[in-house]
Amino acid sequence: MLIKPMTLAERLSLYLQLIRLNRPIGILLLLWPTLWGVWIAGSGHPAWHIVLIFVLGTVLMRSAGCAFNDYADRDFDKHVKRTQERPVTSGRIAPREALWVAASLALVAFVLILPLNNLTLLLSFPAVYLAASYPYTKRFLAIPQAYLGIAFGFGIPMAFAAQQSDVPPVAWLLLVANIFWAIAYDTEYAMVDRDEDIRLDIHSSALLFGKYDVAAVMVCYAVTLALLATVGVMIASGVIYYAGLMLAAGIALYHYKLIKNREHEKCFKAFLHNNWFGAVVFAGIAADYLIR
């Protein structure tokens, strides 16, 4: 039987699925902490070329990470109903092709930061390593979500390096806050996949925390907010900044209502809703600097 060749539109559609542009939540969860760093490092007035470089770099690196993730997880994804139809797993895109897509996007992201200083360029290498190695951590780390938090937050020290030619303690504190936030939201995600992860012998925070998973998520939200409040003290923030944190705390409490019974659909809804947690924290940062 002859296989009908794909049209250009069909091929482009597969690439969009591969890099998840049809599901932008991952980009947003990576973008918000990056913007926290960009705004604080720029004292609320970052140069617009810096903003553009980091926004585009976030989109490119998240997309590259998705392509590489599908390559790395192709043998696991075929056993999970939710991921069986991903382009690489279903055979519609060859594994080597996914690697080329990931490498090409990462290269474009690197070209974007070439006008920046040497420290930013130097930090880009561990950033790429973190993004590429994360998919494999699920095979041996008890809590790969913490590693994800480092990978998703590495734009923070890079943002400080780009604007201050230094990475001060406040940048690392922001990164640690992002690690705890990532553990919170990705545990919500892992609560959806708990049964499949057990069957495939994949590690996750939901399995590590066991019956204390809901409590652990809420503790991670609390630690995130406490660290962000400490950041506020370090940068002499005003009431608007803390109002943003209060709104984020309200969102975290809403997530508790969603996940407390561990219903899969509601846990996934909580995961997606973390976009608003990151957004209100950023809104508080930006608005606080604006009225100073």
Residues 84, 128: Cα–Cα separation, whole Å: 27
pLDDT of 4: 54
CA proximity to 24, closest of 275, 247, 237? 275
Whether the predicted pLDDT of 8 surpasses 70: yes
pLDDT digits (tens, 9 = 90+) for 261-289: 999 999 999 999 999 999 999 999 999 99
pLDDT of 292: 80
Alpha-carbon Rg for the chain, nearest whole angstrom, is: 19
pLDDT digits (tens, 9 = 90+) for 25-83: 999 999 999 999 999 999 999 999 999 999 999 999 999 999 999 998 888 777 777 77
Residues 152, 271: Cα–Cα separation, whole Å: 15
pTM reported for the whole predicted model: 0.93
Whether the predicted pLDDT of 138 surpasses 60: yes
187 Cβ neighbours under 8 A, 6+ residues apart: 145, 204, 205, 206, 209, 213, 216, 217, 220
pLDDT digits (tens, 9 = 90+) for 235-260: 999 999 999 999 999 999 999 999 99
Read off the amino acid at residue 206. Answer: A
pLDDT of 5: 65
Whether the predicted pLDDT of 3 surpasses 60: no
* Range 222-235 average pLDDT: 98
Q: Which of 86-95, 148-157, 274-283 has the lowest mean pLDDT?
A: 86-95
pLDDT of 1: 36
Residues 159, 183: Cα–Cα separation, whole Å: 22
Query: In the chain, what are the domains?
Result: 22-290 (1.10.357.140)
Task: For the beta carbon of residue 175, count every other beta carbon within 10 angstroms.
Answer: 23
CA proximity to 120, closest of 62, 173, 166, 170? 166
